[in-house]
Every structure is written in structure tokens, then in C-alpha cells.
Amino acid sequence: MAAKRHKKSESGFCAFRDFLWLVRLIVLVSALAGLAGFLLTRDTRVHAFSAGPPAGYTGAPQEEPEACAECHVPPDAGTGKLTITAPQTYVPGQTYPVTVTHTNADPTRLRWGFELTVLDNASDEKAGELHSNDGTTQILNNAGPASARQYVEHTAAGTFIGQQNGATWTFNWTAPSTDVGPVTFYAAGNQANNDGNTSGDFIYKTFVTSAPA
């Protein structure tokens, strides 16, 4: 009888040990799955800029100087060009078309993006109002430094996947209702290789100034 009880006890111990091992395995698998999910979430946030970057990526005063280059290669590393076509002079309250243009003959450039803001030169505060004309651009209000600026940038549809040689976005800007002196349009743009990550993407920055008429 004692031997039977011993065998029963031993069998029960083995079963309990197997149960503990199974619990530890489940915990380990769950932890690894959670870590993988966390890393994938972080990766999604990094590459979500295809739908438009956060505010404050134009190279304007008080923004992070190398914000784009934190993820992409340093500014102006490629052979392309970024330009802003804006009014050289403005009349208070008037609305003007503004165009941001990427040009690059490099055939590896297959996706495009930009962000732009307009600031009063005297105070580096928002100047006028930006307006999106179509689904290739979007507006960010009360954003950037001190949550007091306005930005226009590309949408996911406005990255022109697979398009070569460049890209163009046109939107409207309504000048301030009063003469605030010269204003500056600041923009940064990404000429990407569309490989699904940030390596090999070229960042460009530019600005133009408009004075009261």
C-alpha cells in the first residue's frame, strides 16, 4: 500500500511539475507576443508618415532643426530639388495659389511628401490661412511649437506611389487680414525610394518670402 501511495504521490508531483512548465511556457509565449506587438506598433508609427508627418517638420524657426533627418538621411543628400511657388507680394485678405514641387530625375525616387507652414517674419507666428484644394493635401491646425501654427502636408493619396521625376501639390493661402510685413513660406520634402522604411530617402528644405504689395 505504501508503495502505491508513493507512486500516486510521485505521479501527482510529475503532473504538477508538467502543469507549471506549461504555465511558464504560456507566459513566455505571451510575453514574446506582447514584445513583438510593441515593436510592430513602434514601427507602424515611424512609417505612418506616408499619411502625413507630425506638425513641425518644415525647418521653420523653433522647430527641431533636423527633425526629418532623425529618421531619414541628412537634408539635401540626393540630387533633387524642392521649390515653393508663392506670391512675391501679397494684398491683405487676398487668396493666392501656392505650389510645392519636387523634381528629381533619379529613377529610384518613387514616392513623395512635403509639409509647409507660413510665418510672420516679425514674430514667427502663423501668417494667414492655408486651404487644401483636393485629396492630396491636408491641413493641421493649432499645431507645431506652442500649438499655435498651421501646416499643410501630403495625404497618403498625395504621395504618388510609383511616380518618377517629381511631384506637385497646389493649395491656397489667404493673406493676413492686415499688413503684417514680410511673411515666409517654409517647407520640407521627402523624395523616397518606396522601400517601406526610412533608409535611402532624401530630405530637402526650402523657403520663400512674400512682402506686402
CATH number of the domain encompassing residue 125: 2.60.40.4060
Radius of gyration over every alpha carbon of the chain, rounded to an integer in angstroms: 27
CA-CA-CA-CA torsion sign (154, 158, 163, 165) = negative
pLDDT tens sequence for the chain (213 residues): 444 444 444 555 455 555 555 546 454 444 434 433 332 323 222 333 787 888 999 999 999 765 555 555 555 567 899 999 999 999 999 999 999 999 999 999 999 999 999 999 999 999 999 999 999 999 999 999 999 999 999 999 999 999 999 999 999 999 999 999 999 999 999 999 998 887 788 999 999 999 999
**Which contiguous run of DSSP H or E holds residue 25?**
helix 2-47
Q: Are residues 41 and 26 in the same domain?
A: yes
Residue 10: which residues within 8 A CB-CB, separation 6 or more? none
Q: Are residues 44 and 65 in the same domain?
A: no
Structural domain including 37 reads: 1-51
Q: Are residues 88 and 70 in the same domain?
A: yes
Q: Are residues 124 and 64 in the same domain?
A: yes
Question: Rounded to whole angstroms, how far apart are CA atoms 119 and 99?
Answer: 17
Question: Rounded to whole angstroms, how far apart are CA atoms 191 and 114?
Answer: 9
Structural domain total, the chain: 2
> What is the reported pTM?
0.74
